[in-house]
Structure 1
Amino acid sequence: MKFFFFILLIFSLTSKVNANQSNISLFIKALINNNRYGEIKHHESDILGSGVVSGFRFQQGGFSIVNQMFLSNDSNSTKKGGGKKIKGFYGYTNLGYIQYNTKVGLIENKFIYGRYFIDHGFSKMSDLLISQDSRPMDGALWNIIYRNVEGSMYAIQLEEKNNYKRYLTLHSLKFKINKKLTLLFSESSLYSTDKGGFNWQLLNPVIFWIPERENYPIIQANGLLYFGMHYDIKPDFSLYSEFLIDDYQINKDTKGDLEPNEIGFTLGIDLKNLFQRNINFWAEYTRITNRTYQSHFEQEEYTHRGFPIGHYLGNDFDLFQLNLSKEYTNSKLSPYCNIIYHRNGNNGLDTIFDEPWLNDNVTLESGYSEPFPTRPVVEEIQVEFASDYKISKTSFLNGGIRFKKNQTFENSNIEFIFRISLSIGKTIKY
């Protein structure tokens, strides 16, 4: 972490904060959401539960201080950070960081230190490498933009597990090839140690970490490779995809090479203003195989305080999600229909990483394979009919019904769903 402070110090000494005015922003937001953690998400606000959020932001030029607290009397809504109940309430710090933006020549730099969320990928509901639904991360970020190239380096400290300190490093390159095509390449390493802190090789943003681990086996880590693509066929018509590799077998020399590939991918389509009538449509399919995000070593599993860092549903599943919505020019109403088909396998992040390909009855000649998803499979269909009512830019009401049919379509039920977000705030300039 000293490395990031050293870089920040250099840039702060060679640049000036050009600002004659400072801003302080305050807000408080009340949230009500009867969607529970662990359930499939139909709405972008399903990331947070029910409670009260307070926010503070100080800004002068490129320097900012941000703090956001979350308070609730519902233990399920505070699972991401609150554990202790005080006077009937649970609470935690949702955000708390210092940010500094500066420009050196043609290079734009952004530094963040503290607790923050990572925006990575193109999916509507859950990216594969770092999900919108993951916990906020404690660490540092260095982001640079030069013309059409954007690079990011993250150093994150996770919670301890089995008396091991755990760290996550991530670096990425985003290329805007032209006005239509954007490519994103990323690599992450989650590693643990009972002795020291961050590994310097895995803090180097300009080398590939997987060869470092293979050539120098002392560096033990759970490494993932990611590739994302977003292509605008037209301004209102785009395609996107994400592809994740956790473990991919190339050789077939030993029984260990019979391990099934651990990969995931998302394919999506996004259409806006269909038929020139403000009708929007998007659909995406996600498939993640068994054992993806997991490791032989429990402390190197891709989780943070019990929550997945990657896709919020974990692994051993596939999910098809379709959304059709309508925006009315002269109305604050925005009705939508969200349809989901979900197949959930018998395994997941909550099951032990097993190695059945090493059993005595398995040979190199016979090989090893397993069905996807693993059996038995629970199939589920969900349909949500609801509408947003926009009160302001930061406040809305949402209500509707959700139909569920699961367990190979033998059981069904109907739920009434509601989401409320009411926010008030004030910005003071001085």
Structure 2
Amino acid sequence: MGQQEQVATSLAGAVSEGISASLAPVDADLERRYPGDPGTRQPVHTVYVPGEVFQADTIRSWGDKALAALDEHAPDATSFAKAVGLSDELAEPVYARVRAKLEREPIEDLRVDFEDGYKGKDEDQDAARAARLIVEAYDNGTAAPYMGIRMKCMESPVRDRGIRTLDVFLSGLMEAGGLPEGMVLTLPKVTYTEQVTAMVRLVEEFEKARGLEAGRIGFEIQIETSQSILAADGTATVARMIEAAEGRATGLHYGTFDYSACLGVSAAYQASDHPAADHAKAIMQVAAAGTGVRVSDGSTNVLPVGSTAHVHEAWKLHYGLTRRALARAYYQGWDMHPAHIPTRYAAVFAFYREGFEAAGKRLAAYANQVDGDVMDEPATAKALSGYLLRGLDCGALDIAEVARLTGLTRADLEGFSSPRRAALTASTQ
């Protein structure tokens, strides 16, 4: 050992203590506003089903219809890969995984719709039936990981109806055994932060009425109007909405067609890759970063139906839009038709499988402190592990192949990705 270096300082300890004391409110505010990722699984999509149409077999029916679309229009990996533009290397593994996913878990997140898509005659009965069927699905193991409803918005013409439907639905869940862990509520067409505050008050009152833990009920906010992005005073409304939700906001969902129409975009050009859509989602993404609120892309209204040529054209469009969204870190989107599901999963699986080896090797090198041609930092390790975890959650990757490549367990990945995720896993073991 060489001679120990003499270290000189000039500041009294009281200086550091004073600075820490002055920044204590900032520290607390940072922790409150930006807690980081919630550490739970994020579904790759949300499927909307009208309230009057939703049945006990809806999820299985969508899976069967998606498989039938493959059987009719792409009965093998080669034809499917050609239709959407998959590489030869990925064709077989992706196609096999898509079919397995459609058999095992065709829908990851289902929303029974009582807003734009609802055409029923008795909303009370449909909401009560939805609650009963959802509880039964969780009880018998046929539920999607996440299920819930989209109520009507807080605007005056439909406000009372929306509040009543929410009450009927939540009360039905409680009467049937309680709120499922995967329950999700969606508040559409939010224009003012006061509407978010009203939703908070509403679910608070329900929690009190039913003796639930405070904060048990969260909700998604749908971004479908220009006012939800930019307020009259020039501020980013969506950031204020997250704050107004008082920790209950779980997601921001972009509404492709309502938002486009609000800005005057012609119907032929209303799409999730329109510049207006990119601008809105970029604002949403920055506003939500670090808050634990997740951002979801919207949908396409081009349906894969009719001739094989048209189905392939629609599949290629949907596949491309999904891949585009994933590259921009929008890991969730809406699917409007059973035949959209094969290309949703194909795009998601290809995204994770084609980058799996590079991401795994980089993370393994970081974990083992091995020098290479890329100097990664903790933030990159967080991104790499998050990428692998998302791939595992949706079924694109298997934990065995991840472990073989990286030498890391799922717990290791969660440790790199998010302290909250690691703590959540540890608490359930």
TM (normalized to structure 1)?
0.28
Greater fraction of residues in helix: 2
Greater fraction of residues in strand: 1
- The structure with higher relative contact order (CA 8 Å, sep 6+) is 2
